Amino acid sequence: MFSGTPQTHHPENKIHIQAAAHERSQAIVPGGNGMFRPTIVLDGEVVGTWGRTVARGEVVLQPHPFDPLPRSTADALQEAADAYGAYLGRPAPLA
């Protein structure tokens, strides 16, 4: 049994969270057909999706975060883009 401070639950917050989850799931699986868009995962949390444009000699990555990302994540995103580019054998700059 929980012996700490009692917690209150607000149904309207749950509805808001469910609505946000629905909107984000639509961003990740837009057609509802099980085909997922590539996702951006930061510290175990899906924080957005991304796309790519293949151009001559490179593949340009376009991140689409759900909310503005902290500036501190820029290095992590670039590191992931560099690893993806290395896998493809071409530069992968972020747009």
Residue 73: the pLDDT is: 86
Place of tokens 């924080």: 47
- Compute the distance between CA of residue 52 and CA of residue 94 in angstroms, rounded to an integer: 9
pTM of the full structure: 0.66
SS3 25: helix
Is the pLDDT confidence value at 4 over 60?
A: no
Residue 24: the pLDDT is: 66
Q: How confident is the model at residue 86 (pLDDT cuts 50, 70, 90)?
A: very high
Distance (Å) of CA 50 to CA 25, 46, 64, 88: 14, 11, 5, 16
Q: What is the pLDDT of residues 22-76, one digit of tens each?
A: 566 667 766 666 777 888 888 888 888 888 999 889 999 999 998 898 888 888 8
Token pair recorded at residue 41 = 């995962």
